[in-house]
Amino acid sequence: MARLGGLAAGVAGNVALGGGRALMTGNRPQMRDLLLTPANAARITDQLAQMRGAAMKVGQLLSMEADEFLTPELADILGHLRSNAHFMPPAQLKTVLSQNWGADFLTRFRRFDVRPIAAASIGQVHRAQTRDGRDLAIKVQYPGVRQSIDSDVRNVSALMRMSGLLPKGLDLAPLMEEARRQLHDEADYTREAEALKGFASRLEGDPDFVVPQVHHDLTTDSILAMDFVNGVSVDDVAGMEQDVRDRFATRLIGLMLRELFEFEAMQSDPNFANYRYDPATDRVVLLDFGATRDFPKGMADQYRRLLAAGLASDRARTAECMIEIGLMPADLQAERQAILLDLFQIAMAPLVAGGVYDFAASTLSRDLREGGMALAEDRDFVPIPPIDTLYLQRKIGGLYLLAVRLKAQVDLDAVLGPYGTVPGLRSEVIQF
């Protein structure tokens, strides 16, 4: 809380200083221009990177959407939060490793790089080679992160309430409790190891994806040892040829559909740092399975029916499916129901149109934001979907932003193909 308070004071000071300078030169500054400066973005990024944990998670989510609102310079500054936290000093790292592996842990390694190759919100990753020749990526959790989760979530919740921006009647408690539970799950590396192992099994032999193998002899609840896999970042992929960008985005969108409809389990964190690309093998590297969720039985069928209704532009059936899933209250007033159905129709427009969708020219995010203003103005009406649905929506939204970042062109009919042809899905509505 002290760090967040100091951050706010620092940003306010920059705003006052910038406003004073502008007035002295005869200009009338806009608050947006005073707030969204490189200096303030750098201050926020640095402070959240030091805080790690839940605070940095919030910053990562903001950074993913930065391209929608900010200049490229500001988006680049915030983008560092995706994979760059302040890493542990060597002495602290040695303490954590000794506590988990024993004081003689170095005898097990031919090489252990002290400087991490990545540092994120919960842990940092080191490259190492064991005496028996295994080339590994070792994820080491920051000391105290697990113990600070509860207070982090309470502080974020308190700040949201104090902001005065929350709709009346919104009960934050269930959402914050789920956020707390999810962060505890992500901080349990033995749980993540099992999720990693599960996805490696599901995608074994797949020519499009690489999932690192877990090394259980070196894995604890605070250390995750896995294969080191070569790959470049999403930002690097964004500078590659169009066909590479298209394949990268198409594969991830297709995998999301497989997770929902086939696996009924999903890696629900779409942070760009969780995806890499190996140019040598033309495969997508999948990382970080801490946010993996098993969906409840029947959820896939519910969404299959909603997809079919949306593709057929059947508003009555869409409303029934949304009520069934929990996206819309059954007793919702007609005018509010119409707003939600309009928003869903906007979201479905690329799938209804079919063919190749150009994410570079997409206005979908803007259209949904403008369409949602009617809901935002009605502060007594806040439909909160079921938690599993929120995580699915986060994944869908994250991959949309990733495809926009890559300026990808995706054949949506082909991606939907394995789950029934588009005409087949439309005909399903007639059979209801």
Catalytic residues: 269
Residue 17, both tokens: 């200083």
Looking up tokens 């192992």 gives 197
How many alpha carbons fall within 13 Å on the CB side of residue 134? 17
Do 174 and 151 meet the contact criterion of CB atoms below 8 Å apart?
no
Residue found by looking up tokens 């890493």 in the block: 87
Q: Are 270 and 61 in contact (CB under 8 A)?
A: no
Strand pairing of 118-119 and 123-130? antiparallel
Nearest to 140 by CA among 195, 79, 194, 92: 92
Helical (H) or strand (E) element with 265: strand 265-267
Q: What is the CA radius of gyration of the chain?
A: 23
**CA–CA dist 158, 1 (Å, integer):** 9
For helices 53-64 and 72-79, what crossing angle results, to 10°? Answer: 150
Look-up: residue for tokens 């490793």?
97
Distance CA 379, CA 401 (A): 27
43 contacts 14 by C-beta, under 8 angstroms: yes
Any bridge partners for residue 225, and if so which?
A: 138
Tokens of 208: 């499009």
Widest pairwise Cα distance in the chain:
70
Strand order across the beta sheet in which 275-278 lies: 209-210, 283-286, 275-278
Residue 261 to residue 150: CA distance in whole angstroms: 33
Backbone φ and ψ of 69, nearest 5°: -125, -25
Contacts of 18 (CB under 8 A, 6+ apart): 29, 34, 37
> Helix axis angle, 299-311 relative to 422-430, nearest 10°?
90
- Tell me how far apart the alpha carbons of residues 277 and 3 are, in angstroms, rounded to a whole number: 36
